[in-house]
Structure 1
Amino acid sequence: MTQRSTDTSDDAAPQPTGADDDSARREQDAIVTALTPVIDGIATTLGSCCEVVIHDFRRPERSVVAIAGAVTGRGVGGSMSEIGMKVLASGDTARDELNYLTRTQDGKLVKSSTMVLRDTRGTVFGALCVNLDVTAVTQAHTLIGEIAGVAATGPEPPTTAFGDDIGTVLDSIVDTHQLRRNKPWAQLTRTERLDLFRDLDERGVFAVRGSVQQVAGRLGISRASAYSYLAATRNDDGPGTS
């Protein structure tokens, strides 16, 4: 059964500022409405291993506006993943991300495709995502390979945080990218700190409202320092704080 947002509050999406914006908003709303029964059909066809999600980037903090199936544990009002943030940060140049593998924090292996939603003006305003739990299939493949004497090869898929709380997703992304540097913030060089902020920015973390303050808290630095490092990466200059 499809879960669909019934949020009609004024802050559910940015309000139009003119006739063109109003027309665009109505068109985008119509696209979401038209796709909602489609996702139920896709999920029903592919079975219990499938989840189909509609994201509305006009409300990035709770972008899930419709969902059919249950793979990632999210509901309506849930947040986008790191892939979604990357698509959001790309704006109208965003491209579909197809057939990629990730692993959830509870160990599920998920095969996904993220397809951007555009209106007739070419504006990217959301995404349609299909998530397939292929854990059992992969385990069977591994078992058959072992019986046949063929070892499984390939890199381990990255772990992706899925959740209804955007704060949890942001914390997971920051932790993951900081751990890759194998040093706490205090031991990072200026260049490494800039690289960390540049990496987070390129992945769309700072496209979410309130994310700078949350990243600062996760790293144990002041909000002013976080803004300074972010500005520095965007201006190719160094911050004056640490």
Structure 2
Amino acid sequence: MSAEEQDAVIAALTPVVDGIVATLGSFCEVVVHDFRRPENSVVAIAGSVTGRAVGGSMSEIGMGLLARGDEATDELNYVTRTPSGKLLKSSTMLLRDPSGTVFGALCVNVDITAVNQAHALIGELAGVTGATAVPTTTFGNDIDSVVDAIVDSHQLRQNKQWSELSRDERLGLFRSLDEQGVFAVRGAAQHVAERLGISRASAYNYLARARNGPEGSVPDGSAPTRTDQDGVHS
């Protein structure tokens, strides 16, 4: 399927998002994503559950699918929480051409916050408990905010600053970021470097080592202070 044919599929779905939201109501949001431009993947959207607009970026879920490429599968009926506290039930259905190439997705997000609160209240009245932790997912118009959230969540789980991480932990961080599709985004290596307080060259070295094993060249210093040509401290 040519790029023009892929464009035609995406264009055909544009009026569909309005129809679904008109049917399901204001608690629903439907989004068409174009994976060929992850920084501005939102090409059509109806509803305002996540506050995004046309030209917005893909979420952490979308970036993970992007990283898996054509091996990705539909994600159906998963539950996440937005940073603002909304509880969402979502489905992400991939768009493929006849050869199996993934080039986009149709996503449905339903705000079930009120339903969940009612369920919890009924559970308390009935004497039944069983709260389940729900992962927080960042949705944003700016891809940098999504990248920041992914990097920050890794640091929170480690409970350490970059300078305190061992070499294996640093490689594990870059490997995990890569698996989540962070480095499929244009300019992500520079942004990650700035977030971690290291040079872009160091970020590329760690990424190469994480992808290729021991062949990469990775700086040893845990807290070097020089500044490279980019002006990013490493």
TM-score, L = length of structure 1: 0.88
The equivalent of 1:184 in structure 2 is: 161
The equivalent of 1:113 in structure 2 is: 91
Aligned positions of 1:14-93 closer than 5 A: 24-93=2-71
The equivalent of 1:94 in structure 2 is: 72
TM-fit CA distance, 1:44? 1.2
Q: Distance in 2 between the 1:141 and 1:223 partners?
A: 48
Q: How big is each residue's C-alpha offset from its partner over 1:112-157, in whole Å with a ceiling of 9 and x where there is no partner?
A: 1111101122111011100000000000000000011111332x11
Aligned length: 219
| Residue identity matched to 1:188 | L
**Partner-residue secondary structure (3-state), 1:180:** helix
Structure 1, gaps ≥5 residues long: 1-22
TM-fit CA distance, 1:26? 1.4
Q: Distance in 1 between the 2:119 and 2:52 partners?
A: 28
Q: Distance in 2 between the 1:126 and 1:222 partners?
A: 33
1:194 aligns with 2:175: no
TM-fit CA distance, 1:240? 2.5
Q: Distance in 1 between the 2:11 and 2:203 partners?
A: 39
1:136 aligns with 2:114: yes
Q: Distance in 2 between the 1:124 and 1:141 partners?
A: 37
Please say if residues 57 and 88 of structure 1, whose CA atoms lie closer than 8 Å, have aligned partners that are also in contact.
yes
1:211 aligns with 2:203: no
Q: Distance in 2 between the 1:178 and 1:31 partners?
A: 39
Q: Distance in 2 between the 1:166 and 1:210 partners?
A: 10
The correspondence for 2:145, drawn from 162, 168, 171, is: 168
Q: Distance in 2 between the 1:59 and 1:202 partners?
A: 18
TM-fit CA distance, 1:36? 1.1
Q: Distance in 2 between the 1:78 and 1:153 partners?
A: 32
Q: Distance in 1 between the 2:217 and 2:171 partners?
A: 9
Please say if residues 142 and 152 of structure 1, whose CA atoms lie closer than 8 Å, have aligned partners that are also in contact.
no
Q: How big is each residue's C-alpha offset from its partner over 1:40-79, in whole Å with a ceiling of 9 and x where there is no partner?
A: 1111111111000000011111000000111000000000
Please say if residues 65 and 76 of structure 1, whose CA atoms lie closer than 8 Å, have aligned partners that are also in contact.
yes
Aligned positions of 1:227-242 closer than 5 A: 227-237=204-214, 239-241=217-219, 242=221
| Residue identity matched to 1:173 | I
% identical equivalent positions: 69
Q: Distance in 2 between the 1:240 and 1:232 partners?
A: 7
| Residue identity matched to 1:109 | L
Q: Distance in 2 between the 1:64 and 1:136 partners?
A: 26
Q: Which moved more, 1:64-73 or 1:118-127?
A: 118-127
Q: Which runs of 4+ in 1 moved over 6 A?
A: none
Q: Which moved more, 1:92-101 or 1:203-212?
A: 92-101
Q: Distance in 1 between the 2:13 and 2:100 partners?
A: 18
Q: Distance in 1 between the 2:122 and 2:217 partners?
A: 55
Q: Distance in 2 between the 1:229 and 1:35 partners?
A: 40
| Residue identity matched to 1:77 | G
Please say if residues 88 and 207 of structure 1, whose CA atoms lie closer than 8 Å, have aligned partners that are also in contact.
yes
| Residue identity matched to 1:98 | L
Q: Distance in 2 between the 1:177 and 1:81 partners?
A: 16
